[in-house]
Amino acid sequence: MSKHESTSTELLHAQAQIWNHIFNFISSSAVRCALQLGIPDALYKHGKPMSLDELSAGLSVVNSSKVSFLAILMRFLVQSGFLNQHEDQYFLTPASRLLAKNEPFNVRSVLLLNHGPAFSKAWSELSAWFQNDSPTAFHNAHGKIFWDYIEEEEPRVLGDIFNDALSSDSRFNTSLLITECKHVFEGLTSLVDVGGGTGTVSIAIAKAFPNLKCTVLELPHVIGHCKGSGNLDFVGGDMFDKIPHANAILLKAILHDWKGKDCVKILKKCKESIPSREKGGKVIIIDTEQ
């Protein structure tokens, strides 16, 4: 291969790489569109492959003037591996099943949260954030931190989506936690799930360990409609102020949201609320690696 040919090949690969970055958003936008139109739900509910005519008839939200464009969307979803197609019949892949409402481990809210307008606007502010002293790109876009935005701007919409996104992640992880790490909970009599949302994790733990008293500590507006029962209770509060006393504290997907000094504050509050290590006190941390 000549030097000229080598350079041309490298340039072609380089352009292809850049084009992938430029147009990657189309895939996530198409998947979000499919979810919002109800395509995964229609295929899931039908229980077997559907033709385009059957599918379009079942999608009441699609305007009649746009039905002809549905074939283009479906073709893209098939080519991207999101849907399967055999002859003129479409059916779900394991991935697209996870966007159906009735799929137990669905991740619909994770997609809606991360590709919704609030986060999209924040991403568009990333370069501006690097040029000022704003704490986050989200703050740069909305003038407030994420938690305040949820509470003040869209508590019923974005707040519910956020809580469900956390729950969808927890449903799968908790089943593994209980089966693979059962020894972590053995011998405990009480546990506080700090920032436990609407209690997805604690509900599962309380069910698996009926002699373990589980308490979810969360901001009052998050657990406003949550009711405890049996060995499960919900307490409104702030982890920076006080954490209820217990044998163990659970921090699932908490610390990665905070700066180092704030993490130290949280862990100090945990230490104040549990017995010493010699007496069986422990902090259980489940989080992403930073």
256 is catalytic: yes
15 and 92 in a single domain? The answer is yes
Among candidate residues 44, 69, 97, the one where a domain is terminated: 97
Give the C-alpha separation, 208 to 73, whole Å: 44
Same structural domain, 36 and 54: yes
Q: What is the pTM of this model?
A: 0.73
> What CATH code is carried by the domain that includes residue 49?
1.10.10.10
Do 142 and 54 sit in the same domain of this protein? no
In this predicted model, what pLDDT tens digit does every residue of 38-74 receive, in sequence order? 999 999 999 999 999 999 999 989 998 999 999 999 9
Residue 160 — very low, low, confident or very high, per pLDDT cuts 50/70/90?
Answer: confident
Residue 4 has pLDDT above 70, yes or no: no
Do residues 268 and 199 both lie within one domain? yes
Mean residue pLDDT of the chain comes to 91
- What is the residue-wise DSSP string for 66-118? GHHHHHHHHHHHHHTTSEEEETTEEEE-HHHHTTSTT-TT--HHHHHHHTSHH
Residue where a domain stops, chosen among 76, 97, 118: 97
Q: What pLDDT, on the 0 to 100 scale, is given for residue 1?
A: 55
Cβ 46 vs Cβ 58: under 8 Å: yes
**78 closest CA partner among 49, 53, 107, 102:** 49
What are 279-290's pLDDT values in tens digits? 999 999 998 765
Model confidence pLDDT, tens digit, residues 107-118: 999 899 899 999
Both 218 and 262 in one domain: the answer is yes
Distance of CA 150 to the CA centre of its chain: 15
Q: In total, how many domains does the chain have?
A: 3
Domain that holds residue 20: 3-97
CA distance 191 to 255: 18
Q: Among 64, 97, 130, identify where a domain stops.
A: 97
- Interatomic CA distance for residues 143 and 165, integer angstroms: 23
Annotated catalytic residue within 4, 21, 142, 256: 256
Greater confidence (90 vs 172) lies with 90
Same domain (yes/no): 195, 276: yes
Q: Which long-range contacts (CB under 8 A, 24 or more apart) does 225-229 make?
A: 226/198, 226/199
Q: What is the CATH number of the domain that holds 212?
A: 3.40.50.150
Do 177 and 191 lie in one domain? The reply is no
Per-residue pLDDT band at 105 (split at 50, 70, 90) = confident
Say whether both 42 and 9 belong to one domain.
yes
Tally of CB atoms within 10 A around 222: 23
Name the percent of the chain lying above pLDDT 90: 71
Same domain, 61 and 37: yes
